[in-house]
Amino acid sequence: MRRIILAPDSFKGTLSAAAVCSCIKAVLKEQDPLLEITELPIADGGEGTVDAYLHIFGGEKRICRVRSPLGRAIDAAYAILPDKTAVIETAAASGITIEPKNDAMRASTFGTGQLIKDALDQGCRKLFFGLGGSATTDGGTGCAKALGARFLDAAGKDIPEGGSGLCMLHTVDLSHLDARLQDTALTVLCDVENPLYGEHGAAYVYAGQKGADAAQIEQLDQNVRRLAEITAEALHCDLSRKKGAGAAGGLGFCALALLGGKMVGGIDCILDAANFSEKAKHADLIITGEGKMDRQSLMGKAPFGVANRSGTTPVIAVVGLLDADIEDVKRAGIRAVFETNPLHLPFELIRKTAKEDLLIAVKKINLADFY
């Protein structure tokens, strides 16, 4: 009997990781009803992190009323596992897909801070905090503000939320930051290594994807640099150059410098929780995937984290769109890639047919080619 592990990330904006697993399983079972298939929906700290942990450990999903990136009242979910560990993902409250049209200068992480505060109110003192998929470049100041921090101008007044307000920052006041954070183990799941500012920082690498133009990107970079300098004065240390500080528009910096978090690789943390390496030893094939596989994926996002932990078991991927050199992909451990959108049609055209396109792509897989 052949054993296959399905370990995809979500296809952002169309299919959850669990839905991707279900589609792939249905097609493979048609080919060979005797296949033993293990479904393991995963994430790397971004969208789907909460569902991945719930799939592994069980628990409950808690819904909270929070602020969207642009200040609307929305519902966002996080998980409380059976041992009272909370799992929070930035994408749920401050994600790029939440607003119909994002404003890169005003978008705030306040809603994510509200989720953390609610978890503390529920008695959780161990938190897994996933970064990724944010709409923001506010350096995490909105999140910290929701937890009691204040960011003041020269007149001692609160600066506006969002990355644009940071140009007015004069003082960081942490005197009222939620004291419960000191007794909380905060593990930050991050899949990138960018510093807070500079050529490889939060603004220059990611703000364009969030709607910022060239002038706004330059301004946001200057603003988060200002945040780093003033925070360093307050804390007597500078964590802005730490790997991952630029994740989620600088929320990584906030988690490290202000919230006392410890940063780890998101995909590795989740795979460890799932005992993936041991399961991979007993599998004949592993199928992973994500919505868009590009050069950033090669830097350690979910599919390549799976490939790195699969040992000698072959790995293939099903993706929405391949935007990376296939030879680089193969050198990184993925033997073949099957696209659901091989013509690279615009997202607006393919989002409604995402499930059908996935089923068609999986039917092209000849399992015998990879055993």
- For residues 262-277, average pLDDT: 95
| Domain end residue (candidates: 242, 267, 292) | 267
Tokens found for residue 216 = 């706004």
| Domain end residue (candidates: 216, 242, 267) | 267
Q: Record the pTM.
A: 0.92
Determine the longest span between alpha carbons in the chain, in angstroms. Answer: 72
| Domain end residue (candidates: 245, 267, 289) | 267
Beta carbons within 10 angstroms of residue 330's beta carbon: 12
Q: Are the C-beta atoms of residues 154 and 165 closer than 8 Å to each other?
A: no
Q: Is the pLDDT of residue 359 over 90?
A: yes
Domain extent, residue 346, equals 3-42+274-369
Listed in sequence order, the residues at least 6 apart from 59 whose beta carbon sits closer than 8 Å to its beta carbon are 53, 79, 80, 81, 82
Whole-angstrom CA distances from 121 to 25, 51, 86, 117, 146 are 40, 21, 11, 6, 13
- For residues 95-112, average pLDDT: 96
Please state, in angstroms and rounded to a whole number, the distance separating the CA atoms of residues 240 and 227: 9
Residue carrying the six token digits 């990136």: 69
Q: Are the C-beta atoms of residues 91 and 145 closer than 8 Å to each other?
A: no
Give the dihedral sign, CA 33/276/274/191: negative
Q: Do 308 and 359 lie in a common domain?
A: yes
Give the dihedral sign, CA 113/97/212/217: positive
CATH number where 13 lies? 3.40.50.10350
Give tens-digit pLDDT for 155-185.
999 999 999 999 999 999 999 999 999 999 9
Q: Is the pLDDT of residue 1 over 90?
A: no
